[in-house]
A and B are shown apart, each in its own frame.
Chain A
Amino acid sequence: MRKGKPVPTVTIDGCKVEVENGETILDAAKKAGVWIPTLCYHPAVSSDASCRICMVELDRGDWRQLVTACNYPVRRDIVVYVSSEGAQQARRGVMELLLARAPESQELKALAERMGVKETHYPKVTESQRNCILCGLCVQVCEEIIGQAAIGYAGRGVDRTVAAPFRQPSEDCIGCGACAAICPVGTIKVRIHEDEQEVEISPFKSRAKLLICEECGAPIISMQVSEQALGKVEVNCEEFRERVRLCPKCRRSQTAGRLKAAKFCKKES
């Protein structure tokens, strides 16, 4: 809409920046160098605005509306307050609720401290999943980026958890660990079971076979991830395929060995 019009501006705490039509308040804040805490936001996946930690105040003339910065699209000139009392109070309130839910997460505590929240005065009343804040990033990354949708939500409301179907280990999980990497509170962990040559994604208990280094026997990566990755690159080079079956360390030493044979430099070790 409004094609051909000049780009909208966002005034954040008095600092004016221009954004592309449809960019969010969070995008604008980054341009303005204003920090807004986020948890369920990640640039790689679509924004769900479920954690509500990025609340800011939007000037509506005679009143201010609390909106989520991560998904509020800027389509006209707007004035936004990030550090106003109302906005801070809202964000801190949400943080206190989250701290009550996931009191053991160091990552969450660190973010809380940065926001000026020392501790929560709420008791822990909901616990369907230990230390999970249900931001949903893991679910989204698994579906949108990895394309597996091995995990999703189970239960509703206070019983909502992130789980594989029927809360059983998932057959669709390829053990890539993207969920663990994206988890903002460190709840999801990748565990390597060397004896069984398997990788486990905790707490979902999903397991995947590991590719083992042909040289040293060290686990490299989940077999399915390797296969999928190879399927995505067009390399008709047997040497490349062979080297993928080595762990990074062995690959390096193999390369180093070859380089040594090539004698690029005089120095010998």
Chain B
Amino acid sequence: MTVLGNAKLRSAADLKHMQEELRARHTPSAKCVRVCTGPGCAAKGSPRLYELFCEAVERTGADVEIEAKSVGCHGLCECGPIVLIQPGNIFYQKVEEPDVAEIFRETILGDRVVEKLLYENPATGQKAVTPEEITFYKVQKRIALAGNGLIDPTNIGDYIAEGGYIALAKVLSSMTPEEVISEVEAAGLRGRGGGGFPTARKWRSCREADGSPKYVICNGDEGDPGAFMDRAIMEGNPHAVIEGMIIGAYAIGSEQGYIYVRNEYPLSVERLKLAIEQARELGVLGEKILGSSFSFDIRINRGGGAFVCGESTALMASLEGRPGEPRAKYIHTVESGLHGRPTNLNNVETWANVPAIVNHGGEWFSSIGTEKSKGTKVFCLVGKVVNTGLVEVPMGITLRRIVEEIGGGIAGGKRFKAVQTGGPSGGCIPAEHLDARVDFDELTKLGSMMGSGGMIVMDEDTCMVRVAKYFTNFLQKESCGKCTPCREGLSQMLYILERVTKGEGEVGDVEELEGLADLLGGTALCALGKTAANPIVSTIRYFRDEYDAHIKEKRCPAKECRGLFRYEIDSEACTACGICLKNCPADAITGEKKVPHVINQEKCTLCGMCWEKCPFTAVLKV
């Protein structure tokens, strides 16, 4: 849908006028179907649902005002595909193709709620009609994700109708660059990419640095396993990022910006491209923005898939067309970054917070959160929780509330063991620290970090040594290989962990790992290497007993490491059905009818087939 005439906006007043006109078009009774086409829902077939709704809208004719929208990630990916209906803000979950006709007939045309598609609280069995009634959403506070699930990311008019680009208009018409920086400073905004560096300080250093041109970069090279925060924003609300960047560029004094997106996010690239084109057409990006003397343009660069390119200096090297390898940061990038010029790099989520800060004021933003960590943080809640998905919480919330209230606790009635925050360079936080608050400094104190917002929940069946091995393996594969400690040290650590998980560990291995971790932390070139040992250090710190069990007793307490446990059949639970016997590829199981089966340990190859197949859970890991 095109918005208004293609006339360029020449002033802030033009923009306000456009916004009013767009809002006036929608009567409160206007009907709207919002279909989430974020990655989670899309994987479950939501784009097809959207098409079906569009077809249904077309068939209805012009007498009823209905609009179908494809919107960005709504958050509760576990229950996707998600469909929201206006008016009433009715929340339907797990919608399938046959439900479309029913929703259309009952809810849209008949104003009745389709009970079976409502979210049901698993504990109380109570149905929720709107998202506000669902604990998952109730505990959240959305700033960066405010537009997600609400606006059509392919339509700039939608963004403007919801108050988009008003912050930019305010900045250009009534604020000096220094005032913008002060506002961000008052907000206490810190970098959401992992480091948590004060954004305003970075902007000011870049503004004051000698040299021109100055560059502004948006880091969208999200690569942590299980993380999709930035992707959700880029795909669900690309204009928020663009608006943030324009405001930042104005504050810093830059005329050229880059968005570095990983190529594995084709939809992000597409949405950002479209958003940039629309913004240019409307005159909020490009030459003389909104009739002011300020010009700024953005280019998109696609990353080639290296995890290390999320590191600022590697990213800049990649932008320059060189291999994505980090360099020493003794001279900061705000002084000498891209092409040796002052460069300000911020993460997607950081940029997306900027318009809200300008609109509502720094004081409002800093009223949320803890003393040193202000505002909200987006997390990708994944792993063994009931409700996996995208969440945005105020800083200072306890990990327990995220896991238990938003996440709905551990799936399958298992016991919580640890939560891994901060991506591969983060650490595992055990149950005894679940009441820790989400705060840059507090998480660091616990040996983990905020990181960009991955949050992986693990239950009692997770072997922490294997977790450490998994992340070390990931980082070893993603190490660029430039500096010795990272390239050689990670390989050495991985070698030790592989031995330990195979039952070949020796006394002293833990100390060896700790020594290497120290070396890496002190001598590696970039942040990837310096923090690479965090998963190992934090698991040793909190789960030393598991390492000892592997090394000294050759036993894996979580029974995940093959070879460090064995399968046995519980003779009381065994009904002698013969399923395990038939499925055993090694002919290691013997038994007859009505006689409990037995596993011949000498023949058993520990493939786990019997354990998987037994319908009576009579096969046990011991």
Residues of A within 8 A of B (CB): 1, 48-53, 55, 66-68, 71-73, 86, 90, 93-94, 97-98, 100-101, 122-123, 125-126, 133-134, 136, 153, 155-160
Contacts and interface: CB of A to CB of B under 8 A. Distances in A.
Contacts of B519: 90, 93-94, 97
Given A49-B525, A67-B330, A93-B523, A159 B495 contact: no
A73 B328 CA distance: 11
A94 B487 contact: no
Contacts of A71: 328, 330
B483 A52 contact: yes
A156 B306 contact: yes
B485 interface: yes
A97 B306 contact: no
Contacts of B524: 52
Contacts of A94: 484-485, 519, 523
B266 interface: no
Given A66-B522, A125-B491, A157-B481, 10 more contacts: A48-B327, A50-B483, A52-B483, A52-B523, A67-B330, A72-B328, A93-B523, A126-B487, A158-B479, A160-B481
What are the 6 closest A-B residue pairs judged by CB atoms, nearest first? Answer: A160-B481, A97-B488, A93-B519, A157-B481, A66-B522, A157-B479
Given A90-B523, A157-B476, A68 B328 contact: yes
Contacts of A93: 485, 515-516, 519, 523
Contacts of B487: 126, 134, 157-158, 160
A21 to B, nearest CB: 12
A229 to B, nearest CB: 30
B394 to A, nearest CB: 32
A201 to B, nearest CB: 22
B425 to A, nearest CB: 16
B323 interface: yes
A98 B484 contact: yes
Contact of A97 (B210, B328, B330, B485): B485
B330 A73 contact: yes
B480 interface: yes
A66 to B, nearest CB: 4
A194 B483 CA distance: 39
Contacts, number: 97
B331 interface: yes
Interface of B: 210, 306, 323, 327-328, 330-331, 476-485, 487-489, 491-492, 495, 515-516, 519, 522-525
B484 A157 contact: no
B523 A122 contact: no
Nearest to A98: B484
A166 to B, nearest CB: 16
A51 B484 contact: yes
Contacts of B525: 49-50, 52
Contacts of B328: 49, 68, 71-72
A157 B477 contact: yes
B492 A125 contact: yes
A179 B485 CA distance: 24
A72 B330 contact: yes
Which residue of B478, B483, B488 has the most chain A CB atoms within 10 A of its CB atom? Answer: B488
B267 to A, nearest CB: 27
A92 B491 CA distance: 18
Nearest to A55: B523
A71 B328 CA distance: 8
B522 A90 contact: yes
A215 to B, nearest CB: 47
Contacts of A100: 488, 492
A107 to B, nearest CB: 16
Contacts of A52: 483-485, 523-525
A122 B485 CA distance: 13
B527 to A, nearest CB: 14
A93 B493 CA distance: 14
B427 to A, nearest CB: 21
Nearest to A123: B495
Nearest to A58: B330
A51 to B, nearest CB: 6
Contacts of B306: 156
A98 B306 CA distance: 25
A2 B483 CA distance: 32
Contacts of B210: 1
Given A67-B330, A72-B330, A94-B519, A126 B488 contact: yes
Contact of B331 (A73, A125, A155, A159): A73
25 contacts: A50-B482, A50-B484, A52-B483, A52-B523, A52-B524, A52-B525, A73-B330, A73-B331, A93-B485, A94-B485, A97-B488, A97-B519, A98-B484, A98-B488, A122-B492, A125-B495, A134-B481, A134-B487, A155-B481, A156-B306, A156-B479, A157-B477, A157-B481, A160-B480, A160-B481
Nearest to A47: B328
Contacts of B488: 97-98, 100-101, 122, 125-126
Nearest to A74: B330
Contacts of B327: 48-49
B580 to A, nearest CB: 39
A122 B491 CA distance: 11
A124 B507 CA distance: 20
Contacts of B323: 153
B331, B485, B525: residue with the most chain A Cβ atoms closer than 10 Å: B485
Contacts of A122: 488, 492
A55 B483 CA distance: 12
A82 to B, nearest CB: 15
